[in-house]
Structure 1
Amino acid sequence: MASNKPAPEAPSPFTADGIGGPERTWEEWNPTAESIRPVRGKHRVAKQRGLARSSTVLGVGVIAAVGAGGMATAQSKPPVSISLPDSIADNLPDAKSLPGVGAFMSEDAEDAEAAPLAAAPITSAGITSAEAEQGTTDAGEALRARILQQAEQQQASADAEAKAAEEKAAAEKAADEAKKQQDEAEAKAKAKIAAEKKAAKEAAEKKAEEERLAKLRASYTLPASSYTITSTYGQSGAMWSSGQHTGLDFAGAAGSPLKAVHSGTITSAGWSGSYGYRTVLQLDDGTEVWYAHQSSIDVSVGQKVSTGETIGRMGATGNVTGVHLHLEVHTAGGSALNPMAWLNSKGLNV
């Protein structure tokens, strides 16, 4: 700071030789709030002119700039060196004594620790310690990087949520499809089981019916061994007084044996008008079997007969046009039944 030589002093009107009067003595000026406050009214302090005023203002500006921690220094410009003559630098007031400046010049430890932060470039505001460690010095670039990072994080989060939603939807769809297939498989299995049960039931019923018919066949038999069916039950014609045939006709050789279809009791045996010689066999359940147009009768009323026992002979007595057996079946109440259907129900194929 004192490298420059002092400027030559101008002659003063008050010199020691007495030309200008007695020599004036200069004292150190310490500006205070009272001394620099302008006085209103008539008594105004004359404005100081010359090098002293300029030097003082310049020194205050320098001290203020230095006390502010270099805030006036632009980051993009190199610092400017300021040098003052020794005569002026020695006479500068203490910066701490200046009103409003001392507050910036605190000697406390906290201010000393905060000084490096105050000296930091203005553009470093908003930079985190992690970014500073990474070498980031531009606040705008750091803000931009953080915004981009946040955007990437948000996009990644949105992508993750979308992916999770897709995976969830796919899992739900797969679960639904699996459940649908399982339900179909279970339905098919149930249907198969039901069909098997039905088939088994039908087979069991069929077997039971066959066994029943087999037993019936063992206890029932056809009335003739060699025959030809010539007229069936319900057939219409003028040959019958009622206009319809009431029995089943077995045509065969005259004198061939007629057998009892089932065990029972003979309730009628003899002549019966248009039926010729007729025999009535009553079964244990009350059903009556009529044998008509016989040439002869081999049993009597009240006689017990067994299945297949001969009860008479085939003939052509009564209202007939040829040799045959006219067979009728009646319920215990007297109603007529279809002889062919009745014989079939007993396991016999006519």
Structure 2
Amino acid sequence: WDGAAELAQKLEPNDIVLLRNAYTRTGLAGKQEVHVGKVARVEVNPPGVTVGALEPSRIKIGELEPNMDALEVVGRVIEVTAPREFSRADGSKGKVASITIGDQTGTTRTSLWHEHADKVADIKADDIVRFINCYSTLGLFGQPELHLGKQGGLELNPAISEELPSTDVIKMAMPVPERTSIVDIQKEGMKVQVRGTVVRVFHRRPVFDICPDCGRSLGSVDTSLMCEECGKIVTPEHRVVLSFMLDDGTDNLRVALFGKVAERLLGMGTQQVFELFKDTPDLAELYDKFKLVGRELILAGTTRHDKYFDQLELRVSDVQFPEPKQEAQALLKKIKAGE
């Protein structure tokens, strides 16, 4: 902020910065942010201060969460999508390709940006890839996705210490969500479908910001922001986010919906939600307009452990609205099967 912002314009990559009397806050993307205000002191490349190199963290695909940085992920290629070009807001061109990879713990979509996009010409299903210094974001349908940007690296068919399952085995292992009572949801990683009623809505900002060029989550301002990956000021795109408690009579569960899934529930597009948010500063009034409390829903997704609230949460990938005839037929089928 203020004078510190002017100093930041002079920083170079690999500079060491020592901050004194700075403070932290939680950004709208849920990540901790360091803020440098008037009382803070900033020292650039102070004598005697060294910082070790950031080593990528090796994780399994099933351990992915949105907004993770400096990752190393190894997986087997399931599907490859050809590169496509796009135009940025400043008129320049960019390129992105995507592949789906999997391991023993799950699957994920990976976006390859810039020069990495052309590398998919040499990648085919059943290959093994290692992504180094990649990062994760939240996909349009509420699931974590990997991104490989200009700071990342890709190794094709590297030597690995543990064997990965084949593409066919990974596909067969993909679980289909099953209708489950909330009281029976006891661990993370479960693929479930639940039917219940919205009993409480959390009044949080209903949109978050991402970089239009690389998909990385940004900070908490509505206009131009600095993208860490692209290294420039961008005008963000918005994604819808909703969070509420669902009760099915056996117990209740916190659920989170993002992107297209949240749009489907509201019956509104992202821009419509954003404009409504800007025009309605009172969040309680805004959520009254959404008319979520009391609605009966069928939600499918994956359970995860929310570290901040220390509880299980359902990350929703699909939302349906109960049809009495279909629900009656499904119940009759279960009765006949003796369940």
Larger strand proportion, structure 1 or 2? 2
Quick check: which has more Rg, 1 or 2? 1
Give the number of the structure with larger relative contact order, counting CA–CA contacts within 8 Å between residues 6 or more apart: 2
Q: Tell me the TM-score normalized by structure 1.
A: 0.17
Larger helix proportion, structure 1 or 2? 1
